[in-house]
Structure formats: C-alpha cells, structure tokens
Amino acid sequence: MNWKNKRVLVIGAGLSGQAAVQKLQGLGTEVFLTDSKLLEQLAGVQELGLDPEHLLLGSVPGIEAVKPDLIVLSPGVSPKLPLVQEGIAQNVTVWSEVELAMVDCSALCIGVTGTNGKTTTTSLIGELAKRTGRPTVVAGNIGVALSGQVKGLAENGLVVAELSSFQLEFIDKLRVHVAILLNVTPDHLDRHGTLEAYFDAKAQIFKNQTATDLAILNWDDPLVHGLGPKLKSRVLYFSATSFLPEGISLWQDQIVYAEKGTMIPIISRQDLHLRGAHNLENVMAAAAAARTFGLSWTEIAEGLTQFKGVAHREEIVGTFEGILFVNDSKGTNTDAATKALLAFEEPLVLLAGGKNKGLDFHDFMKVVRVKVKSLVLLGLAADEMEQAARDEGVQTIIRATTFEDGVEKAIAQATPGDVVLLSPACTSWDMFKSFEERGELFKELVRRHYRTPI
C-alpha cells in the first residue's frame, strides 16, 4: 500500500487510537482523529502534533467530512457507530488497530484470545519468550497498544499479543503464526448480540493462518474443539480433564506432552503457583506456544515454576487476622468469576457487581449458593444479581451503597480461615474507568482497614 497518498481516519482517541495515529504518522499518511470527547478530556492527544483541522473532537463527523481511504477503529468503539456504518456502506476499508500495528512487522506473532485467561496466558508466554533472548514485545488487549510497541522489531523478534473480540472483528491480512483460543463462554453480548457472533469474532484469529502455522485449542470446550477440523493450520489440543494421546494434558498429577506413542513429563501441578483447573489450561496453552519458539521442555518447566500470576487475576492481597484477601477484579463476566470461586476450598465472602454486559446471572448464582457463605452486592447490576441469587436459593445477601461500603461489609462478614474475594462478574464501568482501578482500590481499602503500609 502506498501510504503517502492515503487519508486515514482513526476513531477513538484513547491509548490504542493515539498509538495508531503515531504509527500512521510514521508511515507518512494524512491522519485524522475523531472522538466524542473534547481535547481537554483526552490526555496525550495534544502531544500527537496533529493540525487542528485533523482533530475532529467533541462530536463524531459524517463520512463526507473526511472521505477517508481507511478507517482504523479503536477496540472500545462500537462498529455500530453511524460513522463506521457509513464507511462500510461506501466500501471504505475498516481495520482494527492491531491490523495496522502488524502491517509492516515480520516478527513471529503469537496471539491469545478467549473469554477468560487471556491475560494470564499472554503474560506467561511473554515471560517464556524472554528466556529465548530474542527481542520480545508483549502487548495488545493486555493494556499496551500493539501499534506503539512493534516498531523496529526484526524478523527474529517475538510478538505476544492478547487479542480481544473487539480487536479481532476487523482484521484483514493479519497473520497470527501461533494462535491460541482458550475458551468461549457468553460475554460482551451487549456489543456482539449473540454468542455465535461473539464466537465468530474470536475465530478471526485463525483467518490468515497457513498450513505451516499452529492453532492451539482447548479440547474441553465444545465450541473451540469443533473448530479444529475447519482450520488450515496444524492443530494442537490441550486438556485439563482428559488424557490426550496427541497433545498436552494431565497424566495423574503431571502436565505431559504426548505424540506418536511417546509421553514427555513437563511439570507437576504441585510446582505451579497458579490455583484452579482453569489455570492448568492457561499453563498448557503457554507451554505449547513456547515450544514453537525453541525452548526445551526443561526450560519451559523452569519458567512455569517461577510465574506467580498477574495483577487483578486471583491476585493475593495478603492475609490479615487470619482472613485471606484475593483481588480478582479482572473477573468481569460470570464464567471468570465462577472459575475464581472454584479455585478455593475455604469459606468465601464474595464481593460482586458492577455493570452487566448482557449476561444472565442464574447459573452463576447456583455456584454462589454452594461456594459462598456471604454475598455482598453493589453497582448497577446489584438488583438483577440479587433477584437471580434469591431465585437460586442464596441465603446471605448483603447490599452495599458504595465500593468502600462493600469492602467494609465484606470484611465484617469474614472470620479467620475465610477468603474475601473480589470477583465482580461485571465490568467496572459504572464506578471506575477500568478493572485495574477497581482492583487497586480494593487492595488499598483492605490494607488501610488493617493499617498496613500500602
């Protein structure tokens, strides 16, 4: 593509949008940036150095105001936006920011998607990749825009990208050489509409793979499993519940790799810091990916034993007066929160609620009834969650007016030997800018309550 003759409109002026603008400036295009927010509400935009006529802020223009050759869509921007729909109707190419990021990058791309476990798996693969000594970038939905990271990365480099359904909706030629699909359960239905549409967006990660590429799939997830025969790439399955004669799975208490009648032990599950069956899946997927960039099983095992997880995903805050506090603020849907509940044998006090993403809470509350001794609810979804909890027979339901009030009420319900778990099953967007902000406040409030240094 001759970038110097192109007019490109970036929609969304957050971190991804700003990284896209900088990438396009480097390519020599004429760049326009639009956002419904005003300039003073957008940190960092002024520093981009765009001419005022190229900054379309405060309201989103019509397509005729820009007449772009290409639209680059930030992941937080809905494709239902009239401007996007106008562009599609006029055959304007629409790309996601990750498509733009990789347009001139020849490094090996390892992509991770799925409803839950993406960040843990991406972080773990990133740590393993760094052990190769090759230049490594870990970015994407993990919090760092891909466009701002891959510049100058050579062919021997490694890109480890967490890819959300929003980012995968509008990929064109992006080739993910090693593509991982961990699981698919209902999520983001407020944007995608149906589970089928959400699944189709996730499956885009395999769109441009060839026979020399690798797809790593969860044998235990029926939707994911069923993709295998349809793909052009090689397929490797992993399973945390069944032994696989070909693939990565459990044999007794060992994670093993089996192929053509041979079985290689990788690591004992007791040597992992990560709790829960869902984290076994994350470890298996990461181990499979690490083999593709040349690590031995011994080197992989060493990396796995040293990995202690990521912030806001079943993150240990500390034990105070015999009560364990766990921050799972990244548990923004019912499946993630369910897995967090199942990772603990101790009595649980659960702090949940926030903004719902179009999910039904009844199946989640069936697990809450069995696993949770006290349920503390807050946020916009509290009424809906309480009704589902009562429908499913949850006994102790406590309402909180603010997040601070919720933490104090959760602490009051706990006794020594209990776990106080923040796993909201909802987004944070009714009270916070992000799940990270919510998790950090949870940690601060707990430590403040027990008067320990933050």
Q: Is the pLDDT assigned to residue 34 strictly greater than 50?
A: yes
> Can you tell me the distance from the alpha carbon of 361 to that of 149, in angstroms, rounded to the nearest whole number?
38
Amino acid letter at 130?
K
Helix/strand/coil (H, E, C) string of 144-205? CCHHHCCCCCCCCCEEEEECCHHHHCCCCCCCCCEEEECCCCCCCHHHHCCHHHHHHHHHHH
What pLDDT, on the 0 to 100 scale, is given for residue 277?
86
Separation of alpha carbons 407 and 445, rounded Å:
7
Domain boundaries, the chain: 3-98, 103-306, 315-449
CB 373 within 8 A of CB 413: yes
Give residue 310's pLDDT: 87
Sign of CA dihedral 371, 375, 380, 383: positive
For residues 9 and 212, what is the distance between their CA atoms, to the nearest angstrom?
35
Q: What is the rounded average pLDDT of the residues 48-62?
A: 94
Secondary structure class of 271 (helix, strand, coil): helix
Taken as a whole, the chain contains a residue count of 454
Judge contact between 397 and 389, C-beta under 8 A.
yes
Could you give the CA distance from residue 76 to residue 191 in angstroms, rounded to a whole number? Answer: 10
Average pLDDT in the 29-51 region? 95
For residue 451, what pLDDT is reported? 81
Question: How far is the CA of 201 from the CAs of 48, 238, 340, in angstroms?
Answer: 31, 22, 25
CATH number of 3-98, picked from 3.40.50.720, 3.40.50.80, 3.40.50.10140, 3.40.640.10: 3.40.50.720
Say which CATH topology domain 103-306 has: UDP-N-acetylmuramoyl-L-alanine:D-glutamate ligase (3.40.1190)
Is the CA virtual torsion 113, 179, 305, 132 positive or negative? Answer: negative
What does residue 238 show for φ and ψ, rounded to 5 degrees?
A: -130, 155
Pair of tokens at residue 80: 């239902």
Q: Which long-range contacts (CB under 8 A, 24 or more apart) does 25-28 make?
A: 25/49, 26/151, 27/3, 27/104, 28/3, 28/4
pLDDT tens-place string over residues 298-327: 999 999 999 988 889 999 999 999 999 999
C-beta atoms surrounding 196 within 10 Å? 10
Tell me the C-alpha distance between 332 and 354, whole Å: 9
Q: Which residues contact 249 (CB under 8 A, 6 or more apart)?
A: 219, 238, 239, 240, 242, 243, 255, 256, 258, 284
pLDDT at 437 > cutoff 90 = yes
Residue that has been written with the tokens 């509409």 in this structure: 193
Tell me how far apart the alpha carbons of residues 279 and 335 are, in angstroms, rounded to a whole number.
Answer: 13
Mean of the pLDDT values across residues 186-196? 84
Rounded Cα distance between 311 and 277, Å, is 19
Across 183-192, 253-262, 369-378, 436-445, least confident range: 183-192
Does residue 284 surpass a pLDDT of 90? yes
What's the Cα-to-Cα distance from 256 to each of 120, 250, 262, 409, rounded to whole Å? 20, 6, 10, 44
What was the pLDDT predicted at 453? Answer: 52
CATH of domain 315-449: 3.90.190.20
Q: What is the pLDDT of residue 454?
A: 46
Query: Residue 40 pLDDT > 90, yes or no?
Result: yes
Residue 273 has pLDDT above 60, yes or no: yes
Average pLDDT over residues 205-219: 98
Two tokens, residue 162:
């967490």
**Interval 56-64 mean pLDDT:** 94
How would residue 332 be classed by pLDDT, with cut points 50, 70 and 90? very high
Half-sphere exposure of 166 (CA within 13 A, CB side): 18
- What average pLDDT score do residues 142-158 get? 92
According to the model, what pLDDT value does residue 452 have?
56
In angstroms, rounded to a whole number, what is the distance separating the alpha carbons of residues 83 and 283? 41
The string of pLDDT tens digits covering residues 398-427 is 999 999 999 999 999 999 999 999 999 999
Tokens, residue 142: 């993990």
> Which of 86-95, 186-195, 367-376, 408-417 is predicted least confidently?
186-195
In this prediction, residues 56-63 reach a mean pLDDT of: 94
Give the percent of the chain with pLDDT over 90: 91
| Mean pLDDT calculated for residue range 200-221 | 97
Q: Average of pLDDT values for 69-82?
A: 93
Residue 348 CB partners (closer than 8 Å, separation 6+): 341, 371, 372, 373, 418, 419, 420, 421
